[in-house]
Structure 1
Amino acid sequence: MGAVTSSMAAKFAFFPPNPPSYGVGVDAVTGKLKMTGVATRENVDVLKLCTRRGNTIVAIYIANPSASSTLLYSHGNAADLGRMYELFSELSHHLRVNLLCYDYSGYGQSSGKPSEQNTYADIEAAYKCLVEMYGAKEEDIILYGQSVGSGPTTDLATRLPNLRAVILHSPILSGLRVMYPVKRTYWFDIYKNIDKIPLVRCPVLVIHGTADNVVDCSHGKQLWEHCIQKYEPLWIKGGSHCDLELYPEYIKHLRKFIVVIERPPYKKTGSEPVPDQLDRPRSSTDFREKPRLSMDLRETLRRSFDFKEKPRISTDHKEKSRADKKDKSRKSIDRSEKACNGAEIPERARNSIDRFGEMVRSVGLCHIDCFRPKATHA
């Protein structure tokens, strides 16, 4: 029964556009790869990346000369690079970021078949491309996962402790929870984001439409509640699963988030190097136990620290001193919360992107990121 349910979840999750909306060829003049069926831009590189599972995936890298961060975008269902191409260009321009996006195995012109494990290998290949080919640093990379893309995004984020940030757009709690109102995680489930999100150490922004009839808004809200570093979420009133980019508050909130995380205390400097964890093999799709042990270790250290604090019951003078320190700590936290909520964001930056909603209307987003083929409306 478990295997049958797992198969149902996998089939429900993946709907690559057929036929693909673009082709890949070689430019006769430059000898470089190019996409056919979309506008040619000088700041766009077309790439073919090999994954550890033997597939070749297509990716595009959009350079922005004023960028200090790089967005690694994992798109949703019923979409491929051709359908998302114009939107990606607008995001790179208005958010002032470099942007790398890729097609999953079996999507667009990528080889192989869609599966949970293949998407994990796909995003790893895209991340390694950013680091090795474009010199991006982990602390300057923002992972963006839309709908099904929230699965590989959250999974990779658990293994990259120095990430700048994570953005989850209409995310899912897990594959099975999209179909059934289950309250626990089963071994045969896919994309167990609800179990993995507590291991993400960087700031997380969650965006979800309140009228989403494909992935209920409760998915986004529960994930946000389990985040360690919560950033002010965006619940778009009346937004559905496929049209959040058309709301003006979408790009405004994203821009505010980028501005906040690109300055202290969010911006990390001199981060300690960590071992490459991408090459560790997965034995199953189940939630990995090793990071969970590290959380238990931290809890043990906290208990040990609390034990040491107990004997320090002393005179009124010391108690008063400790109370003063707590007050200072609270003030410090309040200031951090103010920064987290994006206080004092330059108004000019917001005004410069107010017309973004009108621009993306011309792109034709009605088929972007749907779990199942269906008629949608703007």
Structure 2
Amino acid sequence: MNNKYRLNRKEIEQYLASREEEFLSGHDTGQGWERLQRRIARRRKKRVITRLAYMAVCLIALGCFSVWLSQEKEQQTLALQETISASTDDFPEKGESKAILFLSNGEKINLDQNHSLTDKKDSALFTNDRQEGILTYRKTAEAKPVQEYNTLVIPKGGEYQLVLSDGTQIWLNSESSLKYPVSFKGENREVILKGEAFFHVPQDTASLFTVRASNMIVEGTASKFNIAAYPQTSTKTTLAEGCVKIKTPFKELELFPNEQAILSSDNQLTTRAVDAHLYTCWTEGIYEFRNTSLEEITAQLSRWYNVDMQFKYPELKEKHFAGVIFRKEELNMAIETIQAVSDVKFTRQGNVIFIDRKAGRKEERNIYPIEHV
């Protein structure tokens, strides 16, 4: 059995050796190596081409994305420009100097239509400077036994300055009126205000200067003060310089610089410390506010620019802002800035400007800062 196994093993080895010779004789090892190298080269070339094609596709995709991004940016820029242009078209109003003078004889004069106006019929002479928006009175030698009154009315969207015959300088805000003597006689220096005005009263030892506004009487001399007495609001007197006395049906008090007297609708008189500049800067064409409700801001904008603003949601009135608005700029500037820093938007429908919420905008703060309007 062992001899048989050894024989078979020897035959097998001889067979394998003969098969190896046949294989080697039929295959040139040098040519085989070359063929192998050619196959490897073809595979490498195929991989390089594949990689190049992949890179080309990526570059084409990147190029298309860059073109799309550029077009998208251009479209966004155009959309922003169109928005700004549309806003400018929607809110083009600007504040201006305009007023109507009612003489004691009932004659009505549009001061913004009269470049130069002089009246010598009364005991005082007045001149109108439309360019500067100032109506000026001064005393004359002639005197009349009966005191005559003129009334200066400032419509919405207007403002005007007035210099009385005693030298008192007055700035009248929009939607206001002042009734005053053409020429002051004796100790009676009294005027009647509706709306808002700033008074610069010169020193006069002979008599006090008196302003009646709603249920409040303000008396003073050598002083500067602001009175806001619009309907359906509290009457506020803010003192910038000097000293004034405040009188109401139930109470009297003295007011000192940077103090404000507030008379509520139920005739409750209170005082508080304030920065007087915030309540007098409107005379310089500036509306500066701190922690002021949107309701108060839009009330001022409505008067300044002669527009009707309405809230779609009452809670929007309670949003508070801090910033500055310049009256000589278009209303668009104020609206654009308020929209940019808050979640409210302004839309115009005919003669009405509606104040609404922005879609999808979340509330982020209680007080919105406005750097410039």
TM-score range, shorter chain: under 0.3
| TM-score (ref. length: structure 2) | 0.28
* Structure with greater helix percent: 1
> Whose relative contact order is higher, 1 or 2, with alpha carbons under 8 Å and at least 6 apart?
1
Q: Rg bigger for which structure?
A: 2
